[in-house]
Amino acid sequence: MTDAVDALNEKLDRLIAAMERLAPPPPPTPDFAASECFIWDASASALAPVPVVNRVDISLIRGVDRVRDILLDNTRRFAAGLPANNVLLWGARGMGKSSLVKAAHATVAADTGKPLKLIEIHREDIDGLPRLMLLLKPAGARFIVFCDDLSFDHDDTSYKSLKAALDGGVEGRPDNVIFYATSNRRHLLPRDMIENERSTAINPSEAVEEKVSLSDRFGLWLGFHKCSQDEYLEMIEGYVRHFGLEIDAEELRRDSLEWSTTRGARSGRVAWQYVNDLAGRLGTKLEPR
């Protein structure tokens, strides 16, 4: 009898050892000193440091002075350990929403000297937010979790995970984490999806409330609107001065307006694309003067 029990225990030990070998390795402990910005890799439950961050100086983001100041103030309060809000930057495409988030992070981190980190999470990895929060909560730094171009389609239910991660979970959002997102949609969901809920639900108001309540988790809604011609020209002139591009002022005005006409739009993105084209034609690299 004893021999049989020993044999069974030996087999169980081998089985447990085999299962442990098959189990994925535990995620590595993040080295937050490696960079000021990271990208969340949901498949590996790990943070990948970004050696060189793609961003522009905040002085080059024009035409959004009011929302810029609000975002900077909110970010400074968060960096100082004071109460601050999740932020949704919504509105016209190409007006510098994501650029402003990255620039505000860099400005506040440099001004305050606080350990403020920017974590980018991709839209398709939203379901991994709870795991990310567990990694960030015990860290000594403060974190802006940033999702660019956040929106949800008709059959997508991952917005419920985001709602819980922002405010609705049992533990709530960690004190050292805040969430910034950009979107072209104010309520993050397609208008026809909301209208369909209103027309087909037994209780239309309740169905719509459940869908739009996601955006309510963001204490600040910062709207971005299409820029005027003067604001568009101001953006371009700012880039030209910053990079020291040599061109006659009247030629610059005429050329840049023609560029916006061919694109059928005026925005910060169109201004930046024009400056890239102009620098290429002038044979000049885009390096700050």
Q: Quick one: average pLDDT of 124-152?
A: 88
Dist. CA 189–CA 152, nearest whole Å? 5
Q: Quick one: average pLDDT of 194-207?
A: 49
pTM score, two decimals? Answer: 0.80
Q: Quick one: average pLDDT of 72-81?
A: 96
* Structure-model confidence comparison of residues 214 and 259, the more confident one: 259
Dist. CA 85–CA 282, nearest whole Å? 44
CB 198 within 8 A of CB 208: yes
Dist. CA 3–CA 83, nearest whole Å? 65
* Residue 14, Cβ density class (10 Å: 0-12 exposed, 13-18 middle, ≥19 buried): exposed
145 — phi, psi (to 5°)? -90, 120
Beta-ladder partners of 144? 118, 178
23, pLDDT greater than 70:
no
CB 33 within 8 A of CB 141: no
Give the pLDDT of residue 151: 76
Q: Residue 189 in 3-state DSSP? A: coil
89, pLDDT greater than 90:
yes
> 110: which residues sit within 8 A by CB, 6+ positions away?
none
Provide the percentage of residues in the chain whose pLDDT is more than 90: 47
pLDDT bin (cut points 50, 70, 90) of residue 245 is very high
Secondary structure (H, E, C), 193-244 = HHHHHHHHCCCHHHHHHHHHHHHHCCCEEEEECCCCHHHHHHHHHHHHHHHC
Q: Quick one: average pLDDT of 174-198?
A: 72
Give the pLDDT of residue 84: 94
* Structure-model confidence comparison of residues 192 and 32, the more confident one: 32
Give the pLDDT of residue 156: 63
191, pLDDT greater than 80:
no
* Residue 28, Cβ density class (10 Å: 0-12 exposed, 13-18 middle, ≥19 buried): exposed
